[in-house]
Homo-oligomer: A and B are copies of this chain.
Amino acid sequence: MKPINLNEKLAQFGSHWDPHVVADYNDNDVMVVKFQGEFPFHLHEDTDDFFLVLDGEMIMDLEEESHLVKTGELFVVPKGITHRPRAAHECKVLLIEPKGEPNTGDPATAAPKPRI
């Protein structure tokens, strides 16, 4: 049990679309991730998807609308909703998903989510 400094964790890796687990909250992974470019459209059938922008900004594309999400803003994608985050410039994000949930919605293409 100790405080977790998110900027220190973010400084430990440079890769994009590569969530790293920094803490556990019940059965969820609390992760930091850097977005740059475009992620594939996908959905999570059984869980909401929690994004909090820590630094920078991203676009959350949904099927029929897009939302700009800036530093200090959070966006929760409800379960079953197709979405795609994208960012023209690097954007640092706090991400929460249930443990074992593939970040792409598909185990075949999911990132490994290492713990740092």
Contact = CB atoms under 8 A, between A and B. Distances in A.
Interface of A: 1-7, 22-26, 30, 47-48, 50, 52, 54, 60, 62, 65, 67-70, 72-79, 81, 94, 96, 98
A46 B55 CA distance: 33
Main secondary structure of the interface of A (DSSP, over half): strand
Given A52-B94, A73-B6, A26 B1 contact: no
Given A1-B75, A25-B50, 18 more contacts: A1-B62, A1-B65, A2-B67, A3-B60, A3-B69, A3-B73, A3-B75, A4-B76, A5-B70, A5-B72, A6-B74, A23-B74, A24-B48, A25-B76, A30-B74, A30-B76, A52-B52, A54-B72
A18 to B, nearest CB: 19
- Most B CB contacts (10 A, CB to CB) among A2, A6, A52, A74 go to A74
